[in-house]
Structure 1
């Protein structure tokens, strides 16, 4: 009997210790959040490939595209010209660069547009979105729209998760990823600062695949201080008994306020990618890259048993870190010149040149691999079709903007804008 009691005691202690261990972090998600996507990237082949080559070469594995509301139409029966360009970009991201694509939405209405786009008969599986990134700043009266309370925020999230779970992504075998941004610490009304009830936190976790948690601190240009301490209180708020909370750290590099990391990245001694990974790994264990940044998430677990006062958050056993996302791309464009390297080696960059553009009477092509050209108005209206030729007459087209859709010998599609 004494032996049995001893064994039970040892088992209980070991089980308790195992339960207090942190869930092993991983990097399933390495994202790049692209602002002003429609205005600055979409439809410009050079900028598209510049962005995709950079993201792929820097070991990102997914992009978050803004402007979803403006790019997608309510009409799910056919694609408009912008949706055609978008379909071509997503196909290129998947096929050539092996990047997944998320659509940034601010409401369940926009998420429904994305669902309808993915389910359109005119969209091939390789042209579908892979996830939805929900960003509803209900605390900001200038942007919140119908989402202006914590309750409406969560109600829309429930609808969005339903759309994600019922919509196939590009691999045609799994549902969309439901990614949820919960606001930064600098926004007074953000979810992370509203002292939500335990049931609200449980709803947030249950109806998301993972959360984007802003990771920054005051005066980020300095190496001193503790990045982790600026976020750990919010991690404690995001724990919920019996539920695993998956966190993707969102790092910001906008030059807009003292809490973002623009100066830190600009002044980093290594590359911009090292500047990104530096705080991520340091935040995890406090030693891998730059121990001056933080004691670290993992370090809190290691020290919790011996000093629970100094490391009060060592009991966050339901938190799992699953990656990082970098925001925003255009700050990186200013910081790093590496974006201009290596783009011409990618097949979609050098495949096709249409000239002159703007055109007057005719257009010519520096490629012989396309087999069919379809001309559309920007409203999606089909105008005419041409077989391969060196010169196409466009004298009959009124002055305006058009979409050229090229079909290649291998069956793939490329789209270009034409000005006349």
Structure 2
């Protein structure tokens, strides 16, 4: 038996442009967060992160429960998590920690609620800035509350705090067949419906279940993330975080890489999320993708290359996007490229104006797909190549 990741959220430093509770952190507060598993098991464990904290993170206690609706959980399902047989734990700066294994039967597509209670002030929080799902906060210790009443006194926030992964394990041997989706906001899911789990990795997991071949699908997307360089909003580059967010995911077998859009759109930026983004060319992006392919192959992972969808780019930016996409297509399946291809560009492009999204798939900002667009992305992935 071995652990398999069933849900994940890539952690990032504080995004100064994003609203939420991360800047002030928490003190004498409970934080309730809802996630949806992609596969189930008979044991479960929760991983918490203090990668970007400024002080050791003191967690007074945590519970895991089955979700009903909003911040409410199924009465009687609340279970205390332990860490080294204790309900409390302290996580050093720059570290992550798994809970002790908890015997609990879970199923694919089941929603679970993790509640963390912090009696002491945490300082700025390690978090995920674009959860596309509400998290809830209450004053005081409300770890075991079945109802969500205490959590309605503050507006929910669409971020995840400290929660980076939920793993499952089964009594029967399971294959090492996890899929990790690495990318930026188009993997992260802005433009999809809040609390509906309609990001493209979610819809890929749904497709696999419907096909009778459920597999773990872990979302390692970060909004505003770049392939080559660090971003003030998107954190470490995809190349820098590849080991942590892809290679070290338990049970991972395949990675789908969708990266480079922000390197193109933000280049030479001086303000906001684009600050510090260098001027780049297609060859630099190709070299970055080759680096990820090499990393994946050296660690026994299959690498699927995704073409960059239309982003309403023009001029030199559109030329770079097309050059990268042509390289991904041309070399996929050869020793010089990805093991296989998923062509998101052709799946989403407006046939009358190929540098733009098809209107039926456009969330309205001309960069991010809507629910139908994310579903089309999931459908475009060749399951036999995974």
Q: Normalising by structure 1, what TM-score?
A: 0.29
More helix by share: 1
- From the CA coordinates, give the structure whose radius of gyration is larger: 1
Please give the TM-score of this superposition, normalised by the length of structure 2.
0.30
Higher RCO (C-alpha 8 Å, min separation 6) = 2
